[in-house]
Amino acid sequence: MTKAQIFLALLAVCFLNYSGSPQVKRQSQPQRIPMDLVQLLAQGSRECIRDNYRGSIQRFANDFKSVKANPDYGLNLIVFNAKNEPEDLFSLPAPCFCGATGNCSLYVYQKGGGGGYRLLLNNEELMGTLQLKSTLTNGYPDIVVISNAGGSDLRYVTHKFGVNSYKEAGCYRVLDPGPLGKRQIVTCDDYSIRLFNCDDGCRAYVNGQLVDETRFGEDISSDFIGWLQEGRNQIRFAVINDSGGIAYGIQVTKNGSVLFEKICGRAGQVGCENNRVFPRGVVREFTYTIVKSGLELTGSETTSDSTSPSVENMNPGGAQFTDDFSVQRWGTGRSQAGDTWYQDEEYHMRAIRGGYMVMYSPDKKEYYTKDATVRVGLRSVDGNPPNTGYGLAVHGEKKDNKLEDYGFLIYNGPNPKYKIVQHKGGVETNIVTWTSSSAIRTGTSPNQIEVRIRDLKMDLYINGQFVTSITDSANYKTGRVGFYTSDVGEIVFDDLEIIR
């Protein structure tokens, strides 16, 4: 007997028993793998196979629906009969068919009516559970292979039968929980934000939520897909200047390919526009919009350069003021309207049952809202927000101890919505009645309200998405920023920005 014949004989009889899913029924006696299938496998076998066979092959009955991968078994085979039905499963102890992250090899063959086998699928990323679905494509069951390619999150890759073999037909990941605090199903495609070449700094926001920032000369990339919601999503980039000139590099990429890019100057060498001196604060903004529909994403550039109608470019001599509530400046304590307090560098408010309260900022010029863009992050602590809303107030002033301002309010429970109110002489009047909006995140997820004020015009943005505009019909024009809440739900405010 030749060495090759000896090897094939050993391959046919020497394997470990399979430790499978409870759904898989074992036959009472081990069975030999068909010799012609052994010959196919031996043609591409690795050298280490010869040293890894101990025991006997285990063959399983034909009623399995899913298979648990076992790190002791590097090679998993499924054999279909001539009717396109799964008939046999073999798991072979060949660890050399597994990668460093635990993914092992899967082969799917079909046994011909007249003998012989043809290869339908070869996948080297099996980890966790292989699923044979009840759905059929061209008469063959769809196959889902669970893997962690490259050691990343688990990937669920669907294979559907084409003309002669299985083809990859889709892939998704499960984030549990994702950045938005809930279980999310997202595409396997790598969507990343890159910030680099920044002097003095760059920030990236998704739907108004800060997801990454970098300072001088740093190069940072981050996966942002978990921040996306169904519908339109706005990615906003801000260039931050401390003094002197600026430089920046920003990108949105998909699987390494650039979808959106803006580069200007070289950090530490030469600034934008021939070392032009820029004011302090946010000096440029760029926006890229992505529409999410299930696992499908489409993108478009909505704000392209420094001449676009961004807040800072319309006021090149302006400045930015930020209150992150790390220092106590706002009023605290208990009043007839409710309670206010600082906790964990955030500002908390809770009104009395059935009432509402408005807290104005300190009476300092940096908190005034004339011709400014005002942004604030806010959230419901327990996910049970007040039905009568909470939000941001602008142009606030007390005359004869009576409220005068505009309030931009949201409700982020089921069926999220917004409204705009006016206080005049202490009386609250609806300017815009409750209106549904998909831009608002529900539950305990944070939202951002932004109001852009130009003379008598006020534009409302929620999580970076434009919602509506109103006119300052009361001709207030200026006043302090404030926060509004109602009823007994605890509300938190943070990261207040006022840009002029």
Dump pLDDT digits (tens) for 96-124.
Answer: 556 665 566 677 878 776 667 777 877 65
249 and 382 share a domain?
A: no
Looking at the 3D structure of the chain, how many domains does it have? 3
In the predicted structure, residue 293 carries a pLDDT above the cut 50: yes
Rg from Cα positions in the chain:
31
Phi, psi (5° rounding) for residue 274?
60, 50
329 and 310 share a domain?
A: no
Q: How confident is the model at residue 145 (pLDDT cuts 50, 70, 90)?
A: confident
Of residues 33 and 164, which shows the higher confidence score?
164
Distance CA 70, CA 359 (A): 60
Mean pLDDT value of segment 317-326: 77
Predicted model pTM: 0.44
> What is residue 274's three-state secondary structure?
helix
pLDDT of residue 99: 63
pLDDT single digits (tens) 395-414: 999 999 999 999 999 999 99
10 and 143 share a domain?
A: yes
332 and 281 share a domain?
A: no
136 and 257 share a domain?
A: no
In the predicted structure, residue 65 carries a pLDDT above the cut 90: no
Residue ending a domain, choose from 125, 143, 175: 175
381 and 308 share a domain?
A: no
Distance CA 97, CA 107 (A): 11
Take residue 462 and report the two structure tokens written for it.
Answer: 């929620």
135 and 249 share a domain?
A: no
pLDDT single digits (tens) 212-230: 999 887 898 888 888 888 7
Residue ending a domain, choose from 175, 210, 226: 175
Mean pLDDT value of segment 74-84: 71
339 and 484 share a domain?
A: yes
For residues 161 and 100, the answer to whether their CB atoms sit within 8 Å is no
Buried b (16+ CB within 10 A) or exposed e, 351-374: beeeebbbbbbeeeeebbbeebbb
Range of the structural domain that residue 55 is part of: 3-175
Residues 6+ apart with CB under 8 A from 365: none
36 and 12 share a domain?
A: yes
In the predicted structure, residue 431 carries a pLDDT above the cut 60: yes
234 and 253 share a domain?
A: yes
106 and 198 share a domain?
A: no
Of residues 240 and 111, which shows the higher confidence score?
240
pLDDT single digits (tens) 5-27: 433 333 333 332 222 322 333 33
Distance CA 451, CA 459 (A): 5
pLDDT of residue 301: 53
228 and 307 share a domain?
A: yes
- What percentage of the chain carries pLDDT values higher than 70? 71
